Amino acid sequence: AGSAMAVQDLAGRRVVISAGGTREALDPVRYLGNSSSGRMGAALAADADARGADVTLVAAHLEVPVPSCVREVRVSSTEDLEAAMRREAAEADIVIMAAAAADFAPESVSDLKIKKHEGRSRVGDRMSLDLVQTPDVLAGLVAGRHRDQVIVGFAAETAPDRDELLALARAKLERKGCDLLAVNDVSSGRVFGKVDTDVTVIRQQGSGRRVRGSKMMAAHAILAEACSLLAP
Ligand code: CTP
Ligand code: CA
Does residue 144 have a pLDDT over 80? yes
Q: How large is the ipTM?
A: 0.98
pLDDT for 143 equals 97
pLDDT by residue (tens digit) across 88-139? 999 999 999 999 999 999 999 999 999 887 778 899 999 999 999 999 999 9
Does residue 25 have a pLDDT over 90? yes
pLDDT by residue (tens digit) across 61-98? 999 999 999 999 999 999 999 999 999 999 999 999 99
**Residue whose CA is closest, atom 6 of ligand 1?**
101
Q: From the CB of 169, is ligand 1 less than 6 Å away? A: no
pLDDT for 11 equals 97
Does residue 38 have a pLDDT over 90? yes
pLDDT for 16 equals 98
Report the residue count for the chain. 232
**Residue whose CA is closest, atom 12 of ligand 1?**
154
Q: How far, in Å, CA of 39 to CA of 21, rounded?
A: 11
Does residue 5 have a pLDDT over 90? no
Contacts within 8 Å (CB) and 24+ apart, 68-76: 69/1, 70/45, 70/46, 75/22, 76/22, 76/23, 76/25
Q: For residue 130, give Cα distances in angstroms to 26, 105, 106, 107, 109.
A: 11, 8, 6, 6, 11
- Which tops the pLDDT comparison, 117 or 38? 38
The mean pLDDT value for 20-24 works out to 98
Question: How far, in Å, from the CA of 43 to the mean position of ligand 1?
Answer: 20
To the question of whether residue 115 is assigned a binding role by annotation, the answer is no
Q: How far, in Å, CA of 78 to CA of 112, rounded?
A: 22
pLDDT by residue (tens digit) across 171-213? 999 999 999 999 988 876 555 666 678 899 999 988 899 999 9
- Which tops the pLDDT comparison, 23 or 4? 23
* pLDDT band at residue 147 using 50, 70 and 90 as cut-offs: confident
Buried b (16+ CB within 10 A) or exposed e, 54-78: bbbbbbbbbebebbeebeebebbbb
C-alpha torsion angle, residues 84, 88, 92, 98 (rounded to 10): -30
pLDDT for 207 equals 85
Q: Are 96 and 226 in contact (CB under 8 A)?
A: yes
The mean pLDDT value for 134-162 works out to 95
pLDDT for 191 equals 54
- The secondary structure of 45-109 as a DSSP string is HHHHHHTT-EEEEEEES-SSPPPTT-EEEEE-SHHHHHHHHHHHHTT-SEEEE-SB--SEEESS-
Active site residue 184: no
pLDDT for 2 equals 46
* Nearest ligand, CA 100: 1
Q: In testing the pocket of ligand 1, which one of 18, 82, 172 has its CB within 8 Å of the most ligand atoms?
A: 172
